[in-house]
Structure 1
């Protein structure tokens, strides 16, 4: 058999890897264990140091490196910036805890118990302080990435890894004799330029690219991929490591890639289906049990390293309970997230090996530490993360509560694309309700032909939603005018929101017969969203939310604000509340009570009549203007608010504009009326 192993046929190698990626989670699931443990064990058993079926060649090294950087990138990409900002002190505290405790105890173990000299002891101790977010995908699948414990662990990762890598840079430079009085200035300056260029320059370049060059999904995905790995490759010039560059790139892209967008789905799918499993297999292949046959020294080093990393990371995580007041499950979840050793550990150990500070026993001990930590951590994250997810599960909704069903009025696929993107961003994934792309065909002699054309157009729209993993149910209606068709379909589908494209002005025919907006507003029992989206939503910097007086007293206020907050959360854009007495504590309390959490910033007005001038003065490129629509007879109804959408559209012709007319709750859905019964005219079908 030795002449046939390791397998070198690339097609067969990829087939074996694909089967491992498929079956490892299934087999491990039978024992209630995370699938990544199966991949680690498979790599160890089939790797060159065991059965020798697979060789750890350049393909595994390449895809494994990509997978590691992917983990760091996705972890930063999925951070809820509002939550991170709110708990930034937690991240800093835990980052310092998980650095100082392991490096202090590790220095004692390395110097006193294992007998290393000072440079080797300090470098080995720094490997205990660093960790890799290897188990983050488990937390992501459990839906707890916005839990403050997860955010704290992710934020603390960049703190401790950066400090550990700085120790690596200093030890390596001192061993080579490069540390002089200018070393710290060079290192500080290069890191400052590197971090500043990523966090400040990259969002500007990416926003311009998304706006002007790449509006289709493939180009956006390739741009993100190329940018992330280019930044990671340049990290060595700044005295850092690629994992830090990938993490910083994720922070820079965080506000430009909504969490539930098509682009995010493509990024996550590619990583979790290919790159991350390759990384797990490549880590498992590193284990060489034969080294332990060489004597007690190898066992002593390996056991000391494994015990030290387990104890110190556990102590750092447990310290969050009295200091940050975390629960037991949160502390154990932080432990599971901060335990895995991979990237920084391998980097430090290999640098020490190349410099002659470490021998084979340390290298193998590091590999065993990686394997043990990667076996223990997934179990901890899965068990305690699942407990947190179950304890945080929302209470069952009342049977009378209407589900969120978004109807999107579409004309052509090009015009419908931004409207469908908006629907995906404001949709509540927890309800698992489909989005309904709707086309209305005008009654006439050629209705059958137009219905066939509409169905072909709807197929493209369904494809856009499917790429974002959003269920879709296309709908076509024949009606005498657009408003009648939309209202009839909305009632039949029990739609809770209707998204309609809007030009911001009325045509002469609409001035005579009545505008489509007026007709749509005749049904008061759903939320109407008028959207004029001139730029991609993911390039939004801020949301300017104009709120008329007494709006918070209306019954539909909470639902409307929830949509705006969900949009802000997805886009990572702060909400500037333009309202009379916006800083008033009562209004602020009303705004904060509505979920989800968002970054709210008051922009007070002396009088509501100044709303237009204030919006015009505060508007900047990249802002999305959101207006709280005023329905006739509501508590917030007054002449200025009724005409504000038209005036804003005229005064800010280049601005992205969204007008939300909240629903007026009702006990029972009305019987569907005909267009004549509701007083609807025969206005032509006109929407964006």
Structure 2
């Protein structure tokens, strides 16, 4: 038998296809997780890893034909997803303002960038036009901040989000014209051919694809992966037709995303598959491919890269702010709204990378290694600046807005109670859930226990089932049905989060013993993860005594919590708890006007006797908890998730302080927030 030849692991660059793929997968996994710890987009991490292991640095991998092919597929896929994720409803809702801001956000950077390209960098006019289009578009890197703060419906934010369609489309058209001109003269025949080709292409795709798509989704009932294959076929056919029309394939991919936008539900199974495949495989290969073009030695050896990066960064900051300022003056937006528009339109990623890469590959004058390096530096800079400015401005926008009165009838209540398999306080959690349950609610309570697989799992499942059986019997005494289940998951928090989604829970009631854990930040590893990965209202409780024995409900209001998206629902929950337990409410407001909170409190049903007082700061609040709260009082603290409106660093340690200073029961209520922070979608570019 012949000996099997084995590749030499130490050979560089790596040539074994299995090892190349393995290294790529490790980069896609580690880089976003590492950069996420420092609140930087995962795209930056993968680009920098590509630069480090590419031919211009360590030389671990070559940018060979396979990497180039996968990178081009990833670029096309990236622009397709960008088209799919654009909010067409938001665009048409305020179409006039979206169009005006979109034009301003494109024309101002395009004009200034063209002049800077010619005057400062010495580029030709076509190259300067392409240079300006790099930052004339924008990618909504700060959109997760907008969504988390609950200000996506703000008029200024809606105009900015809608304007993305125009800025990206116009920037890609500039790319198409410049690239086409590089391959021929800009004469009448060129413009006629380009005009006719683009018209036929746009009209054909815009008219035919939605009709074919609607017919396909109505008539094909086979395995669901056929839907995904249909979408992929449409994507790459449109990309190829764009090439035939004389423009870059990414224009066709972007248009394909726009025309399929309404046919693919934003939160459906098909969209999840599209994003999963793109975020896990295709888009990271594009980013890795771009990173391999970066040459860190060029930055150190000459000033031109830094000069280009400086021009890009200064230009994008100045022109995007100018566009936001002009729009703000036209429509009477506040200074914070202007700063929010600036921050949201400042982000650069998808279109910028596409334009510089294609310009480099086609050989446009001035689009060399140094230009690629400079664009990567610009993306890194705005990736830090854009979310940071949006965070500050967004919180002020949220604080300036008024929350509408909460109506319990607007949303069906569904309560989920996660138990540990050996829980000794299941009855207390059920009592709390029953106390906040709507009087006319028809849905049963839902209970779940998540058990980690492995040695002893059978015994833990048996204990969990016994606990759930006792809990169901206890709940039946109140004539309330309880549906329960046990699930296996290596991550307990993931099991709870998945159960909340599957049961469409509106509120999660979870217990905490007050003990400090090794991985503790607020409560401990499991509860902290649940809070971070859910948007539902969450009640974290330590309930040892019957709720009816409480003398008074002491409710703590941190400063700014009233502007939280779920504040009304949280107040309704607290008042329902007070009503069911027959206790009077004593509101303690930290660093804010207690009369304002009293008015807000009275505006939510049911009617409850309450008195409000204010304390100056957090230190004074801890003194109240230590000296003026009895073991017979039930303490309820309204808190906020990290990064949402109303968050203060003191809220991280407040639960532990309450558990130490208060001998009685307490509940920490986290109002529903606007966005679920899904760890898997690290590459989302909106």
Normalised by the length of structure 1, the TM-score is 0.52
SS in structure 2 of the partner of residue 239 of structure 1: coil
Aligned residue in 1 for 2:55: 48
Aligned residue in 2 for 1:98: 105
Distance in 2 separating the partners of 1:300 and 1:473: 53
- Is contact 1:265-1:469 (8 Å) kept? no
Distance in 1 separating the partners of 2:194 and 2:84: 27
Aligned match for 1:228, one of 232, 235, 258 = 235
- Please give the residue correspondences for 1:237-636 in structure 2 after superposition, counting only pairs within 5 Å: 237-327=244-334, 330-341=337-348, 344-345=351-352, 349=356, 358-359=365-366, 362-377=368-383, 379-381=385-387, 384=390, 388=394, 404=412, 470-472=501-503
- Is contact 1:106-1:125 (8 Å) kept? yes
**Root mean square deviation, CA, Å:** 4.5
**Runs of 5+ consecutive residues of structure 2 not aligned to the other structure:** 1-7, 416-442, 447-483, 485-496, 506-686
- Please give the residue correspondences for 1:78-97 in structure 2 after superposition, counting only pairs within 5 Å: 78-97=85-104
- Please give the residue correspondences for 1:209-228 in structure 2 after superposition, counting only pairs within 5 Å: 209-228=216-235
What CA deviation, in whole Å up to 9, does each residue of 1:251-279 have, x standing for no partner? Answer: 22222122222222222222233333333
What CA deviation, in whole Å up to 9, does each residue of 1:24-59 have, x standing for no partner? Answer: 343334334343333333333333322233333444
What CA deviation, in whole Å up to 9, does each residue of 1:446-486 have, x standing for no partner? Answer: xxxxxxxxx9xxxxxxxxxx999941499xxxxxxxxxxxx
Aligned residue in 1 for 2:23: 16
- Is contact 1:339-1:373 (8 Å) kept? no
Aligned match for 2:188, one of 176, 181, 184 = 181
Distance in 2 separating the partners of 1:37 and 1:354: 21
- Is contact 1:302-1:364 (8 Å) kept? no
Aligned residue in 1 for 2:680: none
- Is contact 1:130-1:345 (8 Å) kept? yes
Aligned match for 2:42, one of 14, 35, 38 = 35
Distance in 2 separating the partners of 1:71 and 1:140: 21
- Is contact 2:79-2:351 (8 Å) kept? no
What CA deviation, in whole Å up to 9, does each residue of 1:44-83 have, x standing for no partner? Answer: 3333322233333444434444444444333433344332
Aligned residues: 426
Change (3 A) 1:371 1:389: same
Shift of the alpha carbon at 1:397? 9.1
Distance in 1 separating the partners of 2:445 and 2:261: 25
What CA deviation, in whole Å up to 9, does each residue of 1:162-213 have, x standing for no partner? Answer: 3334444444555554333233333222222222222221111011111112
- Is contact 2:51-2:291 (8 Å) kept? yes
SS in structure 2 of the partner of residue 319 of structure 1: helix
What CA deviation, in whole Å up to 9, does each residue of 1:535-593 have, x standing for no partner? Answer: xxxxxxxxxxxxxxxxxxxxxxxxxxxxxxxxxxxxxxxxxxxxxxxxxxxxxxxxxxx
Aligned residue in 1 for 2:459: none
Distance in 2 separating the partners of 1:469 and 1:227: 35
- Please give the residue correspondences for 1:155-166 in structure 2 after superposition, counting only pairs within 5 Å: 155-166=162-173
Change (3 A) 1:343 1:161: same
Shift of the alpha carbon at 1:143? 7.4
- Is contact 2:160-2:341 (8 Å) kept? yes
What CA deviation, in whole Å up to 9, does each residue of 1:400-423 have, x standing for no partner? Answer: 76962699xxxxxxxxxxxxxxxx
Normalised by the length of structure 2, the TM-score is 0.52
Change (3 A) 1:242 1:378: farther
- Is contact 2:176-2:248 (8 Å) kept? no
Shift of the alpha carbon at 1:220? 1.0
Distance in 1 separating the partners of 2:444 and 2:377: 42
- Higher deviation after alignment, 8-17 or 234-243: 8-17
